[in-house]
Amino acid sequence: MNNGDQRRLNGELEEDEEDEENNDGLAAWERAYADERSWESLQEDESGLLRPIDNQSLQHAQYRRRLRAASTTRIQKGLIRYLYIVIDLSKAASEMDFRPSRMGVVAKHVEAFIREYFYQNPLSQVGLVTIKDGVAHILTDLGGSPESHVKALMGKLECSGDASLQNALDLVQGYLNQIPSYGHREVLIMYSALSTCDPGDIMETIQKCKKSKIRCSVIGLSAEIFICKHLCQETGGSYYIALDESHLKDLILEHAPPPPAIAEFAIANLIKMGFPQRAAESSVAICSCHKEAKVGDGYTCPRCKARVCELPTECRICGLTLISSPHLARSYHHLFPIVPFDEVSLSLFIDQQNKLPKACFGCQQSLLGPGNKPGLHVSCPKCKQHFCLDCDIYIHESLHNCPGCDSTRHSKIPTANEG
């Protein structure tokens, strides 16, 4: 590109910016700062100096808070969940305070959420609902395949009209009433609008949801609204407003681990399930899910012998829930969580500096901070092994095993079946 072109392009850009300037009354140089929010990456230390935020210790503190909250409230978990995600696609969702738009950001994170949700809750189902022009639509029915939900969502990203909380709740409540009593009914609403445009009395609808034991949670993208707060309080859900994109991501992913089970909400029951065998490599059959002839690669329903392509699913012919033992095993870590590790206090260092291990038991990383002084680290209360902060997070958030306890003979882990 030659200089002339570039200048012309720049000129166009400036013109565009000037147009926008008239809208929000900020000069271009001011807007650069307003957009980047550069002040948010600074914090004040004890002596009042500004310095960049120490991300690692901050993240670790945040994670420990979350862990503590989880371990204190832990009773039983609702492992079989039926969740409707309601996405507000009213005019307000086209606002550009999130880039590129609220709608785009919500869709991106809902997609990540759906994948995470199925990873953590292999026996659960999700459905999608959109609100547009004051009407709620079912985008996808309750189902267990992440791909189909994501595809449907990405194909329907247009917004218009007003939002109606009541219509959405009525619709979802009607569907969730049909699910079996052992399932946990949940609604997660991504709400962009600052108002709701309802045909009747929304308070009645909220009471109906409460009666149906539907746990409603709202994540707001603009500001707190009374009716959303009221809804969440009544039904036992949570209500948060996203401050920025990363906060929104954290908020939505908080809904991925199973919530504590509440006895009145879901009645304990035995569910009949099938464990299909893999079909032989060379056998040819028409699968019941795509209605295509396939060679090998599939599972046979033990009750009606229909062929399905992937697990977990529900047999299309006889309705039996089909799973495999690894899917069940994937949920076991919710039932046998590892205890939070204790932070190793610095006073202990001075007492027994020679006895403490120099490297993390998990990854062999040195536990000594700058200047050969012991850095911040944690130790498992059971096996007394020391771990670095990174391993601490990895062990509790992804691995769900304590390498120390598993490396000693006498830590008996509650046993499940052998698969």
Partner 1 sequence: MASVPSKLYADDVSLLMVLLDTNPFFWSSSSLPFSKFLSHVLTFLNSILLLNQLNQVVVIATGYSSCSYIYDSTSAPSHGSDQGRMPALCSNLLQKLEEFVTEDEQLLKEASAEGTPSSLLSGSLSMALCYIQKVFRSGPMHPQPRILCLQGSSDGPDQYVAIMNAIFSAQRSMVPIDSCYMGSHNSAFLQQASYITGGVYLKPQQPDGLLQYLTTVFATDLHSRAFLQLPKSAGVDFRASCFCHKKTIDTGYICSVCLSIFCKHHKKCSTCGSVFGQAQSEVPSSTNRKRKASDT
- Using CB under 8 A, which residues numbered 196 to 215 contact partner 1? none
List binders of partner 1 among 356-375 (CB under 8 A).
Answer: 360-365
Structure tokens at 405: 């306890």
Q: Does residue 407 belong to the site contacting partner 1 (CB under 8 A)?
A: yes
Q: Does residue 271 belong to the site contacting partner 1 (CB under 8 A)?
A: yes
Residue nearer to partner 1 on the CB measure, 27 or 413:
413
Residue nearer to partner 1 on the CB measure, 82 or 191:
82
Structure tokens at 31: 């807007």
Rounded-to-integer distance, Cα 385 and Cα 373, Å: 19
Q: Tell how strand 307-308 and strand 299-300 pair up.
A: antiparallel
Cα angle value 309/314/316 (rounded, 5°)? 75
Residue nearer to partner 1 on the CB measure, 1 or 268:
268
* DSSP character string of 222-260: S---HHHHHHHHHHT--EEE--SHHHHHHHHHTTSSPPB
Residue nearer to partner 1 on the CB measure, 33 or 275:
275
List binders of partner 1 among 156-175 (CB under 8 A).
Answer: 175
- The answer to whether 121 touches 138, Cβ cutoff 8 Å, is no
List binders of partner 1 among 111-150 (CB under 8 A).
Answer: 119, 123, 141
Question: Binding pattern to partner 1, positions 285-314, x when CB under 8 A?
Answer: -----------------xx----------x
Q: Using CB under 8 A, which of the segments 31-39, 91-99, 185-193, 276-284 binds partner 1? A: 276-284
Q: Which helix (H) or strand (E) holds 314?
A: strand 313-314
CA 230 vs. chain centroid, Å, equals 23
What is the nearest approach in angstroms of partner 1 to the Cβ of residue 395?
7
Q: Does residue 268 belong to the site contacting partner 1 (CB under 8 A)?
A: yes
Q: Tell how strand 135-143 and strand 125-132 pair up.
A: antiparallel
Question: Binding pattern to partner 1, positions 42-71, x when CB under 8 A?
Answer: ------------------------------
List binders of partner 1 among 320-349 (CB under 8 A).
Answer: 320-321, 324-326, 328-333, 335-336
Q: Does residue 259 belong to the site contacting partner 1 (CB under 8 A)?
A: no
* Of the candidate residues 135, 253, 273, 356, the single one contacting partner 1 (CB under 8 A): 273
Q: Strand locations in 71-154, DSSP E? A: 81-88, 125-132, 135-143
Rounded-to-integer distance, Cα 135 and Cα 132, Å: 5
Q: Does residue 155 belong to the site contacting partner 1 (CB under 8 A)?
A: no
